[in-house]
Chains A and B, each alone.
Chain A
Amino acid sequence: MNRETELVELCINAACKNRETVEKWRLQKRSLDRLPSHLADALLRRLITRRLLHPSLLEVFKHSAEEVDVKGDNSVDAEWMAYLGGFRHLLYLNIAECHRINSSALWPLTGMNSLKELDLSRCSKVNDAGINHILSVPNLEKLHISKTSVTAKGVKLLASLKNLSLLDLGGLPVDDASLASLQVLKNLQHIELWGSKISNEGAAVLNTFPKLTHLNIDWTSVTKLPNLSSLECLNMSNCTIDAILEDDKAPLTKLIFSGSTFLNEAGTLLYANTYNLSFLDLAHTGLDKFFFLSKMKVIEHLNLSSCMVDDNSVEMVACIGGKLKSLNLSGTWVSSAGVGILAGHVPNLEILSLSQTSVEDTALAFISLMPSLKVVDLSNTNIKGFLHPGGTDLDSLSLTALQNLKQLERLNLEHTQVTDEALFPLSSFQELRYLSLKSPSLSDISLYHLSSVPKLTKLSICDAVLTNCSLDKVKAPESLRLVDLRGCWLLTKDAILSFSRNHPQIEVRHELVTVLPFDENGRQHSSPSRLTSRTMQASRKKEQTSLSPYFVDQRMKYSRDELLALQFMSLPLASNSERDNSILEKQLD
């Protein structure tokens, strides 16, 4: 999709401001018919996101629009379809998840010669009768009907759509016989059959599709595949895998086997042509030998999460690390020493997950030798933030090592043992945008350190002992857009609301309130719960009278044990304040 120029963008904004502005141009028929399709499509998209589109307004685009995407719009019904049927140049129609669409609503599609791609995914009222309407769209190349009510009988009918190159039949009861009847579709390149009823017998006919490059048979009982000589991408997650990819011809680039069981263990992948493989997902497969990795010299994305990877196997990964961009080793047996083996062999690694491993602070020095890292997940590890127990000087703060990572944007330290002092080095991370922390041993001091991270956009600091006072005083970075304070049980609703009044651009999450930011026009985005916005209005009124003139740091009043005892009282306290607010609302009403 090409980006529109600035003035075009301003025009679209002005045109789609509200119902009145739409009325001003919708009768300019001559202009509308001349509108280049990419402008018509952009205007339509904006009307849809602003929820200004209705069936009769659709009609003005019938000579210009080429793409219509109303995915998930519950107002789309047979009337909309009646207008869409008249779109002469429509190439792409997406009505996925439009729950009011049923088979008869598809009737206007008959004879739409221009239509090349149709997405009906999850339209649960569409059944075999709907397929009959689709059959008369002669040039259809891509059809998505996953999770509809189409049966194996309906799928057989699709054999007459000779131009099909993509067919998404995910979640449909496709059986071996109906798959066999599709063999006449010689242009098929991409078939989605996840969750279907096909067995090895049905899978055996897959080699009659000469152009097949993409195949998804996730959650099926298929254990064997025939030789598929043009196959590039295979998703066979959650299957039991016996014999697949035995020829060495298929030019594989992407393989997904997460959650599958290999009957031949690591031997399965030994003979496949994986020289050009760029993506391999083996998460939760329980594999413990990885010698097959040695052929994958150009691999970019490798997921070995929850496999039996130990420090010795990491050497296999290090050997093919040259082009690696993302590596997931979460839930494995890799230790800090294993991370040391990787260091220096992964010059292009951007994303590294070591979540739920036993790595500790010594690993941070090794991680700092991976110069391209942008995203590091160290949640649920033994990271403490200190190299030596008891040391508090700057040199012993282990996170300092990560300062070498000049591109680090995202860091996850949830459920680690880091303390306030250990977070000090983060304040000078120039590119850090997303930071996740979750620990009851963090307090106001952490918030203070983090407030000077220059580009911080999303800060999650859950379960911490933050006080109202610090939230009031904190100087939030200008870039900050979201603060997640869930589990910070010491904060009160008033303090959070006052924070979001002072920082209207920041979305705040907390059990007591969810405050969404204000958009450019000063209007609040629709709030997920009506209650939230109403309580906000209510407490705004309250603020003028009841804002406490002084703050007391709660931690100075209570010992740690007393505070922990208070924690369990915070729930009834919260419901009390809810009640207060509802009384207040009644008065306001």
Chain B
Amino acid sequence: MKKEDTVKLISSDGFEFIVDKEAAMVSQTIRNMLTSPGSFAERQHGEVTFPEISTTILEKICQYFYWHLEFASGKDREFPIEPELTLELMMAANYLHT
């Protein structure tokens, strides 16, 4: 996997997730950060820090990115969400616009 094709997502507690750029761009917010012209630090270094999103939630978000790429169109497999996570995940999804 080439470095240009991936992006590093960092949770509030410093945990790093390396995901495909294509997957991360499922989030409209991340897409804007990575593609909009100008000197977004995120674009230069290929990493984004989320001080508001915990590791558990960010992991779930990453799983969702891949689920979306693979299944969202066909809907033949459900995306499992533990009810305990719904509130925090909802807020993160709202922020990431995904």
Contacts and interface: CB of A to CB of B under 8 A. Distances in A.
Query: Do A and B bind?
Result: yes
A22 B91 CA distance: 17
A34 B92 CA distance: 12
Contacts of B82: 14, 24
Nearest to A12: B90
B87 A31 contact: yes
Contacts of B98: 5-7
A39 B90 CA distance: 8
A7 to B, nearest CB: 4
A32 B97 contact: no
9 contacts: A5-B97, A6-B72, A6-B98, A8-B94, A11-B87, A15-B90, A20-B83, A31-B88, A36-B91
Given A5-B97, A25-B83, A36-B91, 6 more contacts: A14-B81, A14-B82, A21-B86, A24-B86, A31-B91, A35-B91
Interface in A458-496: none
Given A6-B72, A7-B64, A14-B81, A35 B93 contact: no
B58 interface: no
A8 B87 contact: no
A32 B86 CA distance: 11
A548 interface: no
Nearest to B90: A11
A11 B84 CA distance: 10
Nearest to A7: B93
Interface in B3-59: 28
A349 B91 CA distance: 44
A8 B84 contact: no
A28 interface: yes
Interface of A: 4-8, 10-12, 14-15, 17, 20-22, 24-25, 28, 31-32, 34-36, 39, 43
Nearest to A520: B75
Contact of B89 (A11, A20, A21): A11
A43 B88 CA distance: 13
Contacts of A7: 61, 64, 89-90, 93, 98
B72 to A, nearest CB: 7
A11 B81 CA distance: 7
Contacts of B89: 7, 11
B57 to A, nearest CB: 11
A24 B72 contact: no
A144 B56 CA distance: 46
* CB-based closest 5 A-B pairs: A7-B93, A24-B83, A21-B83, A15-B86, A14-B81
A10 B79 contact: yes
A5 B82 CA distance: 18
Interface of B: 28, 61, 64, 68, 72, 79, 81-84, 86-91, 93-94, 97-98
Nearest to B84: A24
Contacts, number: 66
Given A6-B72, A10-B79, A25 B84 contact: yes
A17 B64 CA distance: 19
Contacts of B94: 4-5, 8, 36, 39
B81 A6 contact: no
Contacts of B64: 7
A35 B87 contact: yes
Contacts of A36: 91, 94
Contact of B93 (A5, A17, A20, A31): A5
A513 to B, nearest CB: 31
Nearest to B75: A520
B9 to A, nearest CB: 15
Contacts of B87: 11, 15, 25, 28, 31-32, 35
B22 to A, nearest CB: 17
Contacts of A31: 87-88, 91
A11 B96 CA distance: 14
Nearest to B89: A11
A35 B84 CA distance: 15
* Central interface residue in B86, B88, B94, B98, by most chain A CB within 10 Å: B86
A60 to B, nearest CB: 10
A134 to B, nearest CB: 34
A34 B84 contact: no
A43 to B, nearest CB: 8
B28 to A, nearest CB: 8
Nearest to B80: A14
Contacts of B90: 7-8, 11-12, 15, 35, 39, 43
Contacts of A10: 79, 81
A6 B75 CA distance: 12
B51 to A, nearest CB: 14
